[in-house]
Amino acid sequence: MPVKMATESLTGTLSYRVGAKRNIYLDNGAPVVLAATKINLELEADMRLRALKTAVVHEIFVHTADENYIAARWCCANALTTDFLWLALHATEKYLKAVLLMNGKSAKGFGHDIERLYAEVKKLAGSLLPERLPKPEKLAISTWFDRTTEEFIEHLVRYGNADNRYLIYGYNTFSQDLHMLDQLVWAVRRLVLPLSERIGPDWPEGERLPTFNEVLVAQPDFRFALYGLPLDILILAKDNTPLRLAALNLNLSFAPPDFRHMSMQGGSASFNSVIFRHIFEPLAEGQADAVEEAAELAGWLIRNIQLPTGRNGSPDVVGEIKKAVASAKQRLS
């Protein structure tokens, strides 16, 4: 017997939510859209403002994060690894910022630093965030390297950061990255709620309703659906369009139980940086002609292309190139 709970929608209507695994429906299977008592209360000014703030957070951060996440999954399925990594990081960043904003915190000053963002969200969420991202039981995948959540986020930062959109560092990924991303998005996206607030006003009989945090802790496989946002629209859809397939195929975190999954090519992907191949490698080999050519190329690169210089926590690529050129020339002198 599903447990009925009440929560306040953006319009201020008190609505029943049914505690089912992952997605939320009425007893008849329809999405929750009706007021429980058909009483639509006039919102006070502060409640109106909170509702507007929620709408802004949903549109600016969650809507665009859903699009980034779905696009990242499509890129992964089609071996477009550079954009998979960048979009995965970008989606994670937006979901994390949405959690902070929904809980009275500022999202300013973080940039693309999802490691710092995750640490801030963890202060709010505690045990609601997983320590590790284990292999899903129903997933048939040959290779799985166990990682903590923080280790996977570090992996996204290393290979999905803004500089690596230009393959400054190259990348090294495995099939499991997609499924770890699914688990991370599931864990963070379900927190886009005012966690410390109660899910609705107390019942007239005096029964006190739980907080959003308490509901999520008590039901680890449950989330409050975010109706009208891209991912939830696709979850509730019935037609398996290419877009729905991109979002949900082998997505064991979000796909509904009746979703028909299709096989996907797995394996690993790696790419050595063009700077490593054409500058660092020939400089290290030490042959005079190769060193001279690499040094010339390095000078042109530094003069004409914006490269990381060590600011804002990025590696000092320019400094490393200059150091490698000087070291190679010294060995030949």
The H-assigned helical ranges of 39-166 are 45-57, 64-77, 81-102, 114-125, 149-160
Which pLDDT value is given to residue 50?
Answer: 83
* Residue found by looking up tokens 């966690």 in the block: 195
| Per-residue model confidence as pLDDT tens for the chain (333 residues) | 233 333 333 333 333 333 333 333 333 333 333 333 333 444 467 777 888 899 999 999 999 999 999 999 999 999 999 999 999 999 999 999 999 999 999 999 998 899 999 999 999 999 999 999 999 988 888 888 889 999 999 999 999 988 888 888 888 898 999 999 999 999 999 999 999 998 887 666 667 889 999 999 999 999 999 999 999 999 999 899 999 999 999 999 999 999 999 988 877 888 888 899 999 999 998 789 999 999 999 999 999 999 888 776 678 899 999 999 999 998 888
Which pLDDT value is given to residue 305?
Answer: 93
Which pLDDT value is given to residue 204?
Answer: 65
SS3 106: coil
Task: Give CA–CA dist 198/35, Å, rounded.
Answer: 18
Which pLDDT value is given to residue 313?
Answer: 64
**For residue 229, which of 30, 101, 59 has the smallest C-alpha distance?**
59
Query: Which residues touch 53 (CB under 8 Å, ≥6 apart)?
Result: 101
Token reading at 29: 């299977």
Which pLDDT value is given to residue 223?
Answer: 94
Identity (one letter) of the amino acid at 17?
Answer: R
Q: Which residues pair with 16 in a beta bridge?
A: 6
Which pLDDT value is given to residue 19?
Answer: 36
> pTM score, two decimals?
0.82
Identity (one letter) of the amino acid at 313?
Answer: G
Largest CA distance in the chain: 89
Q: Which residues pair with 35 in a beta bridge?
A: 15
Which pLDDT value is given to residue 231?
Answer: 97
